[in-house]
Structure 1
């Protein structure tokens, strides 16, 4: 009997395949198949050690991670006032002789725990740009904003699920009856003898969705090149829309404006990326370029919608020379695009701020999973495992990206062949739109330091309780000594030492999450009870 863990810290022996059992790849245990009794034995051995409590506290920050990074080296404690090195200790004195650090991967298929943290950070980042807070002024609530979806053009007919009118509340779990895929009375055939028609009504999980009706007719080269240049196409589109709105403002005698955006990229089943974009209208003063100003009242949501629609329709650009196509490829948006207004409370065709923030955050943790392909960066040694010009749809896309990237000017296609040519970030924003991921992580680290310092200094010194996002500098000012710990660390490995360690760490993390959830529910209940009006006697 083998033990199957949903949060296994193992890496597959063969790239692109799932681990057959815990203990494979990143796990340092030698057996390929881990028996249940052996896993329990390693967990009991760890729990029976006298330093178990210290070990559990040591791995707390990475307890829920499926493949934590192990670091070893020296930790130096320095007096920040004099620069004197107070103490130096090696990680060999710590449990397991290493420091565990969460991998921080944003993809749910790689590490659900770290991806959830990334998704929460993305949600607060996006929503702060709509309602304010976290150094963003609250006046952004009044700024006109729209949510746009821009798609790729067609590179050949593919199997689709066409629902003309979806009545489902959750579009991702649509159960409406779709129209036939490609219903044609004449049922034409392509030059390769395949019928370019399909009368099936595909279900949501149909493996044929996104696959070409004729793979030999499909333009794989144009597909991967479009993915590779989609970011540049978006830059030019936003630039045109902003210029159009500024021209409109000048005609109406209004001051200058600026469009601030947050953007998430999503793969369609066919492997082409499309963008979900949040656009917020701001005022602009060249003398105060970093200040978020309210826009003039003469520019409306309808004006923004018209400007983005015009830009998405007319903006194109041609790629540089390539030996396969000397004239370059034409890069343009597809004919399907949608632009909807955003309000603080959804009504009619509008979207509310929470739905938009959650939507962008959700797609920021996804990758090429929708196409049926997942892999790490490819090399000449591993490309043969995934690329095949006569294979499946993802294999042909990877082969096209790799083959086109043989010239120095197009080497980026080989670098991003595992992403089907797309090399951009999955969640990007304008500099003035909101806060950064780095600032959110710094605030989280400061809060944890404050919490730890509060636990060690409470009592005799009367150190106050830690407040949320309290900075370390404020805490240091209240302590007698100001020190800084600097690590000189190197990579020691990836994954837990044993599946028993993984089981104990993940269980402790799950219990901590459950306590946090229960505490939040209790606080919310108490707040609701205290705010309610008591009944008359």
Structure 2
């Protein structure tokens, strides 16, 4: 069936207009989920039916909902929506809003980048100097040059590749990715320990005096290892609504993050491998200004949100789990990444690495965490942002708000996923229109 025929079939279907409105409602989702069933709203005291939503009344007799995938390579509209939520989540913890008081802007806060250590020399982007200047003729134990005299542009595909794959510590690199959350937990513990030591009090008393709040995002480097970008803030014990003690300054926060990071280590159980963050640690204060500074609240929130919808670096990670070893050989990735994935798969079969579930996370080069995480009281939550958006849509559509004196009964089952070829063309057009509207709105602001 030709594309033109598919489009015509879609456009002439009796449910086309209602279907089109539904796809607009879910933002042009590229892989929607279709459900069969109903939701009934009943009066709590009498059981009287107040409202009913059934698949029978929906276009094509299916309730179509957004897939909600957070990866831009899987569904751009849903990923962009999540990116926007992340921006507001981070920004509200810096400038207030979303039930966070504006006084949070007076709290000490920094933007920090935590790097991975070196697992072997890799090709890198340089400006005006060789990639890896070394004495001519110097070779590694495997007979390969330990230097590189080329000057690589930023888009050179060789960037991130090891100079010698046999020298590169693939096993340690994979284990680092797999245990970054363990390193982060120890960093959080060290922050309180260092503060308590500085003021000669116990950790429990320090936690009752001050709270360290954060929001962070993981970024895959082209060499396949994880970096963390994080906003770290001093609060009073009750979070952003509570000012920190007068002695909790920005300078103290910077000093404490540095000292706590130096002490972070994690020994992988059953292996003796000791993991640490890299020595390159960038910490800069976040300014309360609105323009003219690279580290304003808005700039930092935008920077962190960017990585939520773009966690995959082309050729470095894949967006679906790997089900068998044979698949690794045909993945659209670089040979360096393929080796890291294969290392994940091999380590995942060993008893000592079973808790890390490395085969499940091989497509992410061993990284098991969420792309974005935050401390409990950093700011608002994704759930609250989604609920506010749903309330706004109900109000815009003239629907009554949820009543606490009602009972909701839901019974839904999965039908199928995705669009037909014709439907996909219209959904893509809707997504393009919404993207243009966002860009125009951004330019206008």
TM-score normalised by the chain length of structure 1: 0.75
The structure 2 residue matched to 1:280, chosen from 233, 238, 243, is 233
Structure 1 residue 63, shift from structure 2 partner: 4.8
Structure 1 residue 97, shift from structure 2 partner: 2.2
- How far apart are the structure 2 equivalents of 1:338 and 1:487? 49
Is the Cα contact below 8 Å between 1:282 and 1:293 reproduced in 2? yes
What residue is the counterpart of 1:337 in the other structure?
281
Question: Is residue 94 of structure 1 aligned with residue 38 of structure 2?
Answer: no
Is the Cα contact below 8 Å between 2:322 and 2:328 reproduced in 1? no
The structure 1 residue matched to 2:263, chosen from 310, 314, 317, is 314
What residue is the counterpart of 2:216 in the other structure?
263
Structure 1 residue 130, shift from structure 2 partner: 0.8
Residue 279 and residue 90 in structure 1: after superposition, are their counterparts in 2 closer, same or farther (change >3 A)? closer
Is the Cα contact below 8 Å between 1:183 and 1:197 reproduced in 2? yes
Is the Cα contact below 8 Å between 1:62 and 1:101 reproduced in 2? yes
What residue is the counterpart of 2:43 in the other structure?
79
1:493-512 equivalence runs, <5 A: 493-496=416-419, 498-511=420-433
- How far apart are the structure 1 equivalents of 2:284 and 2:4? 54
Structure 1 residue 55, shift from structure 2 partner: 2.1
Question: Is residue 492 of structure 1 aligned with residue 415 of structure 2?
Answer: yes
Is the Cα contact below 8 Å between 1:270 and 1:371 reproduced in 2? no
Higher RCO (CA 8 Å, separation ≥ 6 residues):
2
Question: Is residue 236 of structure 1 aligned with residue 186 of structure 2?
Answer: yes
Question: Is residue 197 of structure 1 aligned with residue 140 of structure 2?
Answer: no
What residue is the counterpart of 1:139 in the other structure?
103
- How far apart are the structure 2 equivalents of 1:440 and 1:347? 26
- How far apart are the structure 1 equivalents of 2:290 and 2:311? 29
CA deviations on 1:29-51 (whole Å, 9 max, x unpaired) are xx6xxxxxx22222233323443
The structure 2 residue matched to 1:379, chosen from 305, 323, 328, is 323
Residue 517 and residue 211 in structure 1: after superposition, are their counterparts in 2 closer, same or farther (change >3 A)? closer
- How far apart are the structure 2 equivalents of 1:46 and 1:387? 34
- Ranges in structure 1 where 5+ consecutive residues have no aligned partner: 1-30, 32-37, 163-176, 455-470, 525-537
Secondary structure (helix, strand or coil) at the match of 1:159 reads: coil
Count of residues paired in the alignment: 438
- How far apart are the structure 2 equivalents of 1:508 and 1:301? 46
CA deviations on 1:153-185 (whole Å, 9 max, x unpaired) are 1111100113xxxxxxxxxxxxxx342110112
The structure 1 residue matched to 2:129, chosen from 169, 179, 184, is 179
Secondary structure (helix, strand or coil) at the match of 1:413 reads: coil
Residue 151 and residue 87 in structure 1: after superposition, are their counterparts in 2 closer, same or farther (change >3 A)? closer
Structure 1 residue 217, shift from structure 2 partner: 1.1
Question: Is residue 403 of structure 1 aligned with residue 353 of structure 2?
Answer: no
Is the Cα contact below 8 Å between 2:221 and 2:313 reproduced in 1? no
- How far apart are the structure 1 equivalents of 2:441 and 2:153? 41
Structure 1 residue 517, shift from structure 2 partner: 7.0
- How far apart are the structure 1 equivalents of 2:289 and 2:240? 26
Structure 1 residue 133, shift from structure 2 partner: 1.3
Is the Cα contact below 8 Å between 2:130 and 2:151 reproduced in 1? yes
Is the Cα contact below 8 Å between 1:246 and 1:256 reproduced in 2? no
- How far apart are the structure 1 equivalents of 2:291 and 2:44? 55
| Greater alpha carbon shift after TM alignment, 55-64 vs 294-303 | 55-64
Question: Is residue 65 of structure 1 aligned with residue 29 of structure 2?
Answer: yes
Secondary structure (helix, strand or coil) at the match of 2:228 reads: strand
Is the Cα contact below 8 Å between 2:325 and 2:345 reproduced in 1? no
Secondary structure (helix, strand or coil) at the match of 1:364 reads: helix
Structure 1 residue 308, shift from structure 2 partner: 0.9
CA deviations on 1:291-344 (whole Å, 9 max, x unpaired) are 7310122222111111111122222121100xxx4xx21111111111001111
Structure 1 residue 519, shift from structure 2 partner: 7.8
Please report the RMSD computed on the Cα atoms of aligned residues, expressed in angstroms.
3.0
The structure 2 residue matched to 1:365, chosen from 309, 333, 340, is 309
